[in-house]
Structure formats: C-alpha cells, structure tokens
Amino acid sequence: MKAEETVEIDLVGKTSIADAMIIASGRSQRHVGSIADKVIQEFKSRGFGNPRVEGLPACDWVLIDAGDILVHIFRPEVRHFYNLEKIWGADRPADQTAHRLAG
C-alpha cells in the first residue's frame, strides 16, 4: 500500500501493553484508510482474529490493536504533532538510565 516512513519500535521491557509498535504514514486521509484496511485484512487472513480499530472514520490517525502488536497509521502532520517515535523510541530517559546502569 506504499506506506511511508514505516518504523518498528520494540516495546519489550518498556510496557506490558504490547511487544511491538509499528508507525507509518499515508499521504492523505484516503491513503491512511486504505493502508489501515489492508493491515486489518492481513491480520485476519493470517489468523490474528479481529483487531480493535480506532480512528477509521476520520483517517487522520488510525490505531490497530492486534494484542501484541500496535499499528499506528498517520497523516504526516498528525504524526509529526504526536511524535510517538520520540515518546516510545530508544532515546527515552528510562532507556538511557538503564543503559548507563548496565554499562
């Protein structure tokens, strides 16, 4: 579906809500909706059941919760505003502290 700037963030040890978070962008609301529909179909066809979905009517930000995997699909300006990569990425202060203690 030509999602743009796709990033996977490993959440193991950071939270119990999921093991991985995937973040991607679509160029427009229609593109975000198309990507989300394809991801939902793939989860179903691969036996992951029916994921919980939020934001599909507006398609500015669609969250697909498949249990161990969270998928966020944004329009670029919405993605930039919420900046989930910074919140959940490796540069989080807790990660830096854990890295210093381990090293």
Mean pLDDT of all residues in 9-35: 94
Q: How confident is the model at residue 70, as a pLDDT?
A: 96
Give the residue among 72, 75, 80 at the shortest CA–CA distance from 60: 75
Q: So what's the architecture of 4-88 in CATH? A: 2-Layer Sandwich (3.30)
Q: How confident is the model at residue 88, as a pLDDT?
A: 87
Kindly report the length of the chain. 103
Q: How confident is the model at residue 101, as a pLDDT?
A: 45
Q: Is the pLDDT of residue 97 over 90?
A: no
Q: CA dist 16 to 20, 36, 49, 55, 59, Å?
A: 10, 24, 20, 23, 27
Local confidence band at 90 (pLDDT 50, 70, 90 cut-offs): low
Mean pLDDT of all residues in 17-32: 96
Cα 100 to Cα 103: distance, rounded to the nearest angstrom: 5
Q: CA dist 60 to 41, 48, 80, Å?
A: 19, 25, 12
Q: CA dist 2 to 5, 25, 29, Å?
A: 10, 9, 14
Residues 33-89 pLDDT 10s: 999 999 999 999 999 889 999 999 999 999 999 999 999 999 999 999 999 999 888
